[in-house]
Amino acid sequence: MDILPTVLLKPGAADRVVAGHPWIYAGSLLRLSAPAADGALVQIKDHRQRFLGVGFYNSKSKIHVRVLDPARVAVDVSFFIDRVRAALAVRQKHLPGASSFRVVNAESDFLSGLIIDKYAGVLVLQISSLGMEQRKPMIVQALQSIFAPGAIVERSDAAFRKFEGLPETNGLLSGTLSGPERIEINGLKFDVDILGGHKTGLYLDQQRNYQLVAGLADHGQVLDCFSFLGGFGLHCARAGAGHVHGLDQSAEACAAATRHAELNGLAAQWSVETANVFDWLKARTAVAPHEKVVPVFDAIILDPPSFTRTRAAVSDALRGYKEIHLRALKLLKPGGTLATFCCSHHVGAALFESVILEAAFDARRVLRRVATLAQSPDHPILPSVPETEYLKGFAFEAAR
């Protein structure tokens, strides 16, 4: 193997790398032993010249080095084959039987800057680091040899690419794609718009929660807020809910959810409305001072988008979370179930729960927590890399 340029770290900067965090910021670097091209593989050493691993260098990113391995590995097609196979084994263990899932979740699978989703026979790549971008042909070759997919699509349209000096790119990398891909999630059919949908097509991170929540929700009237393609609501309908009403501000998402209800023989139990959830809940809970809101739902699901992408906007986000919980709780029957999620990395589980409890206090409801929920196991969490944990949720019963 060629001798790699060496990145020397400042005293104190090595511990985080040893603990498994792959991001090395510019401020942690002491110096480079030789010039390194952006995207090149470098070796990383502490200030006493002790070897810590190898990673990709990029002077244009705040994250100057993304560590790949604590050993001196060569990064070639077989490196990617081995790493993707290892990630796949984790999914096969924790999501046995699933045919659509996140195959590689970047840092959680020791491939910082690379996300690979599998939607039945189609693979979707999201690349957010220059080192991965430069090795795209190797990655595609590795994926072809493991999966022989019908198509490999790139959806690298995430805003964070600009932090690496990379333009957005979207398109077909190999194979052919004709219309939406029909997939199954826990046995329910969905048609996924791979090139145009949210994220890389569907919220795979809720795959396990769909089933858990459907198992907890009472079989009566269900309100699925932020319903998107109908994931939660349709799982509840299949589990026996009398009726599910979905709410989403995207007319396109509502139309897709209705098609999914039909596709799965659940149309009789399903309705959906194009609406802003805040406005809808407000209108349903607005009563004159002497009147009381009549609770009508046996289960309510709140799965909003992230209300904040930055730490600075957390307090606004908390106001938003409190408002929807307060109003939803007013509409929840005693004994009913509230399943609620927060995908803002900057709002941790404890803070999220405290906001829910403030809302419950204001609504004069007492909650019994019946489940603590997290992202599905194909989005593994490495506690030493806090950024890998973002989705948290709870299911509560309204005890009073």
Shortest distance, CB of residue 65 to ligand SAH, whole angstroms? 33
The CB-of-154 to ligand SAH minimum distance in angstroms stands at: 22
User: What's the order of all strands across the beta sheet hosting 101-105?
Assistant: 101-105, 114-119, 122-127, 151-156, 169-175
Instruction: Report CA 115 to chain centroid distance, whole Å.
Output: 11
Phi/psi-derived region of residue 27, left when phi > 0, alpha when psi is between -120 and 50, beta in every other case:
alpha
Residue 228 within binding range of ligand SAH, rule CB under 6 A: yes
117 binds ligand SAH (CB under 6 A): no
Any contact of residue 232 with ligand SAH (CB under 6 A)? yes
Contact 323, 205 (CB under 8 A): no
Tell whether residue 231 is a contact of ligand SAH (CB under 6 A): yes
Q: Which of 225, 236, 254, 343 is catalytic?
A: 343
Which of 80, 190 has the CB closer to ligand SAH?
Answer: 190
How far apart CA 24 and CA 14 sit, in angstroms, is 9
Q: Which of 229, 179, 173, 200 is nearest to 101 (CA)?
A: 200
Euclidean distance between CA atoms 331 and 296, whole angstroms: 6
- Provide the minimum distance between the beta carbon of 381 and ligand SAH in the complex, in angstroms, as a whole number: 19
What mask, x for binding ligand SAH by CB under 6 A, covers residues 158 to 197?
----------------------------------------
| One of 133, 181, 248, 397 touching ligand SAH (CB under 6 A) | 248
- 231: closest CA among 189, 268, 267? 189
Between residues 232 and 297, which has the closer beta carbon with respect to ligand SAH?
A: 232
Report 255-294 residues binding ligand SAH (CB under 6 A). Answer: 276-278
- Give the interface segment with ligand SAH, choosing from 20-28, 75-83, 222-230, 288-296 (CB under 6 A): 222-230
CA dihedral 160, 392, 336, 226 (to 10 degrees): 10
Of the ranges 18-26, 131-139, 164-172, 298-306, which one interacts with ligand SAH (CB under 6 A)?
A: 298-306
Asked if 304 and 322 touch (Cβ cutoff 8 Å), the reply is no
Binding status of residue 249 toward ligand SAH by CB under 6 A: yes
Least distance from ligand SAH to the Cβ atom of residue 278, Å = 5
In the block, residue with structure tokens 């609501």:
233
54-to-20, 28, 140 alpha-carbon distances in Å = 12, 15, 22
Cα dihedral sign, 108-114-115-119: negative
343 is annotated as an active-site residue: yes
Binding flag, residue 226, ligand SAH (CB under 6 A): yes
Nearer to ligand SAH, 282 or 369 (CB): 282
Q: What angle do CA 332, 336, 340 make, to 5 degrees?
A: 75
Interface with ligand SAH includes 203 (CB under 6 A)? yes
Does residue 123 belong to the site contacting ligand SAH (CB under 6 A)? no
What residues are annotated to the active site?
Answer: 343
Query: Footprint of ligand SAH on this chain (CB under 6 A)?
Result: 203, 206, 226-229, 231-232, 247-250, 253, 276-278, 303-305
